[in-house]
Amino acid sequence: MSEAAKILFIDDDPAVLMTVGDRLALEGYEVLKAASGDEALQRLRTVTPELIILDISMPGMTGMAFLKKVCMPAGKPRYPVLVFTARANMEPFFGEMELEGFLAKTSDPNDLLREVERIISKGRKVARVAAAPEARSARRKILIVDDEPRAGAQMISFFANAGYEIFWVKDGSTLTDAAIAKQPDIILLKMILPHMNGSALASMLATAPETRGIPVILYDDSGLHRGDAKYANVERFVPSHSPVDLLKAIAGILGRTSAS
């Protein structure tokens, strides 16, 4: 049996939290409830939900303010988000935002269940692609280089659940030694790091015989670099640190190399 998907449900109405939250729990989901945007941010310090269901009209930190807190500089949320609001006329406003869905609270309750199932199934399908036996047999180990403990912990949990063996270093000072010792199949390298940027570290790895053949994915969520940017000795550049986006890049590289 697969692990129950974690859903963070954010709504300031206690009745909605109880009624809808209990219905989702009956469907087998692990529902984490938050009555405000501030409470939800505290929750995200310790959990990585597969879906956030978000009310928009809340006192204090509104749903829009919460979205800004969890979005990367390029505007994409770090987590799949389904907006669930009484303000049905707001749907066009979210048209250009990279949200997973929008649903009015007046909709049929079964519509919500179908949307939740669709979004979670979509995310898990991406994870299964990279965790497939044919991919794992050839490429299993990932070395992550990220100086932010929270981001590192989030990626470690995500990729471990996808079936990878994970190693993590905080900066470039121990990167070469770790790469030589662990011989990872992929290195995920953050662009902006203390002392030396990721692009320079990628060039350094390319000069060592023991590491020059390891594909490097360079990633960055500062918003300073375009998605089509090219860097020497880098297999692929991803303009975010979203685990889902990185997993897609990994799956693309592993699929290509296993076929060659």
Sorted by where each begins, the domain ranges of the chain are 6-129, 133-259
CA 1 to chain centre: 23
Matching residue, tokens 């405000």: 36
Q: What is the pLDDT of residue 118?
A: 93
Mean pLDDT of 16-42: 94
Cβ proximity of 249 and 130 under 8 Å: no
Here the tokens at position 242 are 């979203």
Query: Strands of 81-85's sheet, edge to edge?
Result: 30-34, 6-10, 51-54, 81-85, 101-104
The CATH number that domain 133-259 falls under is: 3.40.50.2300
Q: pLDDT class for 132, splitting at 50, 70, 90?
A: low
CA distance 10 to 66: 10
CA distance 227 to 72: 14
The CATH number that domain 6-129 falls under is: 3.40.50.2300
Q: What is the pLDDT of residue 227?
A: 65
Q: What is the pLDDT of residue 76?
A: 74
Q: What is the pLDDT of residue 82?
A: 93
Sign of the CA dihedral running 113, 13, 43, 90: positive
pLDDT of residue 1 exceeding 60, the answer is no
pLDDT digit string (tens) for 148-173?
A: 888 888 888 888 888 888 999 988 88
Q: What is the pLDDT of residue 138?
A: 46
* Within this chain, domains 6-129 and 133-259 share the same CATH topology: yes
Percent of the chain having pLDDT more than 90? 38
CA distance 120 to 100: 10
Q: What is the pLDDT of residue 52?
A: 95
